[in-house]
Amino acid sequence: MSSTAAGYKFKVAICGGGISGLCLAVALNRRCPDIKVELYEATDRFKEIGAGIMIWSRTWKIMELMGLAPELSKIAHAPPDGSMGTGFDYRRSDQPQEGFRFHWVRMPYGCIRFHRAHFLDIFVDQLPPNVARFKMKLNSYSQSHRDGPIFLNFSDGTTSTCDILIGADGIKSTIRAQMFQEASERESRPELLDFIKPVYTGTTTYRGLIPIKSLNSLPPNHRAIADPMMYCGKSKHVVSYSIAKGDIVNVVTFASDITKEGTQYEDGDSQWVTECPQQELLDCYANWEPEVEQLLQRIEKPTRWAIHHLKPLPFYVDGRVALIGDAAHAMSPHQGAGAGMAIEDAFVLAHVLEHATASTLGSALEAWQKVRLPFGNHVLRGSYESGVMYEFNSDMGDNYDVLGPAIEKQWHWVSETTPEDEVARASEYYKELSG
C-alpha cells in the first residue's frame, strides 16, 4: 500500500531512542500529523544514566517553542527566567591553598541544569502510543534505488520499510558505519572509512552525584551549591553544578593527555565506562584546593569514562538517510552541548519535513544538512578546544588576561544565531532545492 493510500504523506523511521530520537519523534508528532513516525530502540526501554545535563538559552528557546518549558521548569535546578546567570565560574584550583577566580562567564539564563533521567522523561511523556518499538536493534538497511523506499533489517530477523531513515543511534552508530562504508565504495574514497569509528580525546572523566544533604557539613558558602563551577588545573579540571531543584550536586572531573587525542582507546570499546574505586579519583586530584577535595570525598562510587568524539563528518546525509545527535557529531562535553545540538538537529529537521512531500525528501534532507553540518561540526571542534583551554594546554597557557576572553569567545555560538534563524535558513534552502 502506498503512503498516500495509507493516509500519510511519508514514513520516517527513527533508529535510536535517546534524546535526539525522542525529540525528533515528539517534534514530528506535534508539527506533522500527516507524517507516520516509527521509533526503533535497541534496548527494552528508554533510559538515561544517573547524572546531570545542562542546556543553554538556545535549547531552552526550542523547549519553549515545543511547549515543553512549563514541565521542564518544574524539574530544573531552578525555574529558568531569562535573567543573567552564571555560565561557569572559572577558578585556578590545582594547589592545596584556596584558589582564585580567573574568569567568570555570564549569559542570559546562565546554565540550565537537570537530572538526565528527569529530562528524558519529559520527552517520553509526550510520545504518543504506538510510536516506539523496543528491542529493535537495527542491523542494516538497503535500498533498490536512492529515491526509493528503505528496507530495514533488525537483529531479531524482522524487517520493516520507510521513506526516510534517521540515524539517532548514538556515538557508535550502526547507520553511520553503513553510510560511510557504502559511500567509500561507491565514490572510491577510502578516506571516508576514517569517519566510522569514534576516536579517543585523551581525556578520562570521573562522574558522581552528591545528595545535597551530604554537603550540609560543608561551609555554607561552598560555591558548588550556588553556581556552576569550573575548577581548573594543568591537564585536569573539575565541573560541578546543582540539579534536581537543587537537591543534588553533579560532579564531572576530567584528566587529559592531549598527545592521545585522535587515537584508538587502548583498553577497547567495552571499557569506555567502568566503575572505579574512590581512591583513584582522590589520587587524581590530590593537593587541589580544599573545596574540590570536599566534593570528591563525597563521591563514594565514581564511574570512569573514556571520552570519545567523532572526527567532524564531511556529510550527515546520504540520499534519504540522515544522521542526527551523537551519530552525527558526538563531541567532548566541555561546553555541555551534545544534547542541545541533538535537540536542535531534531527541531530543524521536523520543520523542514513538515513542508516536504514524498518526492522532495532528498531536497529536505539536503537543506537540513546545509544548515546543521557546519554548525554541528563547529560546536564539536569548539568543545574540544575549550577543554584544552580550561586545562591550560592551549598556546595561551595560563596567561589569564588572554585566556579569559578566549574562553568567553568560545561561547559565542550560544547566542550568535537563534534556532528560529536556523529553521528559516533551512526552509529557504529547501525552497531553492525543491524548485
Residues that bind ligand FAD (CB under 6 A): 15-21, 40-43, 53-55, 137-138, 168-170, 174, 205, 252, 305, 307, 325-326, 333, 336-340, 342
Element (H or E) spanning 268, and its range? none
**Least distance from C-beta 191 to ligand FAD, angstroms?**
25
Q: How far apart are CA 163 and CA 74, in angstroms?
A: 38
Q: What are residue 11's DSSP bridge partners?
A: 36
**Least distance from C-beta 431 to ligand FAD, angstroms?**
28
Question: Which residues neighbour 32 within 8 Å (Cβ) at sequence distance 6 or greater?
Answer: 350, 353, 354
Residue 209 — φ and ψ, nearest 5°? -115, 140
DSSP state at residue 361: H
**Least distance from C-beta 246 to ligand FAD, angstroms?**
17
The answer to whether 323 touches 37, Cβ cutoff 8 Å, is: no
**Least distance from C-beta 333 to ligand FAD, angstroms?**
4
Q: How far apart are CA 75 and CA 72, in angstroms?
A: 5
Helix, strand or coil, per DSSP, at residue 224: helix
Q: How far is CA 85 from CA 56, 61, 78, 229, 238, in A?
A: 11, 16, 11, 12, 20
DSSP state at residue 431: H
**Least distance from C-beta 325 to ligand FAD, angstroms?**
2
Q: Which is nearer to ligand FAD, 246 or 290 (CB)?
A: 246
Beta-carbon-side half-sphere exposure of residue 29 (alpha carbons within 13 Å): 22
Q: Which is nearer to ligand FAD, 43 or 274 (CB)?
A: 43
Q: Which is nearer to ligand FAD, 111 or 423 (CB)?
A: 111
**Least distance from C-beta 399 to ligand FAD, angstroms?**
28
**Least distance from C-beta 403 to ligand FAD, angstroms?**
22
Q: How far is CA 295 from CA 81, 216, 300, 430, in A?
A: 28, 12, 10, 50
Q: Which is nearer to ligand FAD, 210 or 218 (CB)?
A: 210
The answer to whether 62 touches 36, Cβ cutoff 8 Å, is: no
Q: Which is nearer to ligand FAD, 218 or 239 (CB)?
A: 239
**Least distance from C-beta 304 to ligand FAD, angstroms?**
11
Q: Which is nearer to ligand FAD, 218 or 379 (CB)?
A: 379
Q: Which is nearer to ligand FAD, 203 or 360 (CB)?
A: 203
Q: Which is nearer to ligand FAD, 140 or 297 (CB)?
A: 140
Q: How far apart are CA 39 and CA 136, in angstroms?
A: 9
Q: Which is nearer to ligand FAD, 16 or 419 (CB)?
A: 16
**Least distance from C-beta 105 to ligand FAD, angstroms?**
15
Q: Which is nearer to ligand FAD, 198 or 233 (CB)?
A: 198
From the CB of residue 322, how many other CB atoms can be counted at a distance below 10 Å? 28
**Least distance from C-beta 123 to ligand FAD, angstroms?**
10
Q: How far is CA 69 from CA 111, 212, 228, in A?
A: 15, 25, 21
From the CB of residue 301, how many other CB atoms can be counted at a distance below 10 Å? 10
- DSSP-derived secondary structure for 111-141: -EEEEHHHHHHHHHHHSPTTSEE-S--EEEE
Q: Which is nearer to ligand FAD, 342 or 367 (CB)?
A: 342
From the CB of residue 84, how many other CB atoms can be counted at a distance below 10 Å? 10
**Least distance from C-beta 98 to ligand FAD, angstroms?**
27
Instruction: Write the burial class of residue 16 (CB in 10 Å: 0-12 exposed, 13-18 middle, 19+ buried).
Output: buried
